[in-house]
């Protein structure tokens, strides 16, 4: 199948594009390189540099049958400082993509939604039926896309699936090389702990007095290769006229201290820790229930925290040795 991967020069989109190529699909990547890297587009995929607004129609018209949509801005802090950027890029860009799809007759789409649509959770385990009360323009812009997809399903016959990721980590092995996280700024825990290890500086923990077993926040992490597998399953499960929503996590959380301990073990570096105050709005525990995607699509996370840290470390080492 000929598939369009928007944002396929970014972290997650590049890994999914690689898996789609490996599965025999004809992949075209559309990315404006605002946060992505041309070198991350995997071999075998065609790359078009451009924005959703300017280029989606032309790319879709060239025989595309389905879309995997990753292109977005995704920094919570930046979205609070500049909400218009998030509404314009994440919602406006997506509406331009959906309108181009509708005009050309492409109606199958898998969308990168996020745990940020739920906001402050009511309980430790988040289900798809929980209330959506995003606390940032980033989360709100993603929720607005989810709502738009429900309408495009009902009114225009789209078959769409939104996958709500929690924390994505690790790197994907290509032969040769790796695809991994290259965000700037990097806000994710594992790459930041590994950067501290390779630069010999301490890592900062925000609060160690939470009601958790070791006092630090507990979060749900999944390996980017497992996440890519879920996208391929979702692509085959889109149904005309329906918008389905699935959480993606491993169902068990890891504390910040557990993550640091695994990173120490993987790197062999005694990473020093500095403890600061809690950050406002950080819930103690945030874990996804992935029961729905397990039962509907047969997906479950296969790779553990050690694999995430070890693969991310291999990616870091491979980059620094270049």
> Active-site residue numbers?
138
Number of CB atoms found within 10 A of residue 150's CB:
17
Residue placing its CB nearer to ligand NAD in the complex, 10 or 159:
10
Using CB under 6 A, which residues numbered 274 to 313 contact ligand NAD? none
Closest to 296 measured CA to CA, from 241, 230, 251, 250: 230
Phi and psi at residue 225, to the nearest 5°:
-70, -40
Report d(CA 77, CA 55) in Å as an integer. Answer: 28
Does residue 79 touch ligand NAD according to CB under 6 A? no
Report d(CA 271, CA 257) in Å as an integer. Answer: 11
Residue placing its CB nearer to ligand NAD in the complex, 113 or 244:
113
State the nearest-atom distance from the C-beta of 92 to ligand NAD, in Å. Answer: 9
Among 45, 52, 285, 307, binds ligand NAD (CB under 6 A): 52
Among 5, 64, 71, 140, binds ligand NAD (CB under 6 A): 71
Does residue 12 touch ligand NAD according to CB under 6 A? yes
Report d(CA 259, CA 33) in Å as an integer. Answer: 30
Among 19, 108, 112, 132, binds ligand NAD (CB under 6 A): 112
> Which conformational region is residue 33 in: left (phi greater than 0), alpha (psi within -120 to 50 degrees), or beta?
left
Does residue 262 touch ligand NAD according to CB under 6 A? no
Using CB under 6 A, which residues numbered 167 to 206 contact ligand NAD? 167-168, 183
Does residue 132 touch ligand NAD according to CB under 6 A? no
State the nearest-atom distance from the C-beta of 222 to ligand NAD, in Å. Answer: 9
State the nearest-atom distance from the C-beta of 72 to ligand NAD, in Å. Answer: 3
Number of CB atoms found within 10 A of residue 271's CB:
17
Does residue 128 touch ligand NAD according to CB under 6 A? no
Burial class (CB in 10 A: 0-12, 13-18, 19+), 278: middle
Among 5, 31, 179, 219, binds ligand NAD (CB under 6 A): 31
Stretch touching ligand NAD by CB under 6 A, among 64-72, 170-178, 197-205, 235-243: 64-72
Closest to 47 measured CA to CA, from 2, 20, 15, 9: 9
Stretch touching ligand NAD by CB under 6 A, among 18-26, 161-169, 194-202, 252-260: 161-169
3-class DSSP state of 12: helix
Among 3, 5, 9, 101, binds ligand NAD (CB under 6 A): 9
Long-range pairs of 147-151 with CB within 8 A, sequence gap ≥ 24:
148/91, 148/94, 148/95, 148/98, 149/98, 149/109, 149/111, 149/243, 150/243
Tokens 């990547």: give the residue: 29
Among 86, 152, 158, 165, binds ligand NAD (CB under 6 A): 165
Residues that bind ligand NAD (CB under 6 A): 6-7, 9-13, 30-36, 51-52, 70-72, 74, 89, 93, 112, 114, 165, 167-168, 183
């Amino acid at each position: 199948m000929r598939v369009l991967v928007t944002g396929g020069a970014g972290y997650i989109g590049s890994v999914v594009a690689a898996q789609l190529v490996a599965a025999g699909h004809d992949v075209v990547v559309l990315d404006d390189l605002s946060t992505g890297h041309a070198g991350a587009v995997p071999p075998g995929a065609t790359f078009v540099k451009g924005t959703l607004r300017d280029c989606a129609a032309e790319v879709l018209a060239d025989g595309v049958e389905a879309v995997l949509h990753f292109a977005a801005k995704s920094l919570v802090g930046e979205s609070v400082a500049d909400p218009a950027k998030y509404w314009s890029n994440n919602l406006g860009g997506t509406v331009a993509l959906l309108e181009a799809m509708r005009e050309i007759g492409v109606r199958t789409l898998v969308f990168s939604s996020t745990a940020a649509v739920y906001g402050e959770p009511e309980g430790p385990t988040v289900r798809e039926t929980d209330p959506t009360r995003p606390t940032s323009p980033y989360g709100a812009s993603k929720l607005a896309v989810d709502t738009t997809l429900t309408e495009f399903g009902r009114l225009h016959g789209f078959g769409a699936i939104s996958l709500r990721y929690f924390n994505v980590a690790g790197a994907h092995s290509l032969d040769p090389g790796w695809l991994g996280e290259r965000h700037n700024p990097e806000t994710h825990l594992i790459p930041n702990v590994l950067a501290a290890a390779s630069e010999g500086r301490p890592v900062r923990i925000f609060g160690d007095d939470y009601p958790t077993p070791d006092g630090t926040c507990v979060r749900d992490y999944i390996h980017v290769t497992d996440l890519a597998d879920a996208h391929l399953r979702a692509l085959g499960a889109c149904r005309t006229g329906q918008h389905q929503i699935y959480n993606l996590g491993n169902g068990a959380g890891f504390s910040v201290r557990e993550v640091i301990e695994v990173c120490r073990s993987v790197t062999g570096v005694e990473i020093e820790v500095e403890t600061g105050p809690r950050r406002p709005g950080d819930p103690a525990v945030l874990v996804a229930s992935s029961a729905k995607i397990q039962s509907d699509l047969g997906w479950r996370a296969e790779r553990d925290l050690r694999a995430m840290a070890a693969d991310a470390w291999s990616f870091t080492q491979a980059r620094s040795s270049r």
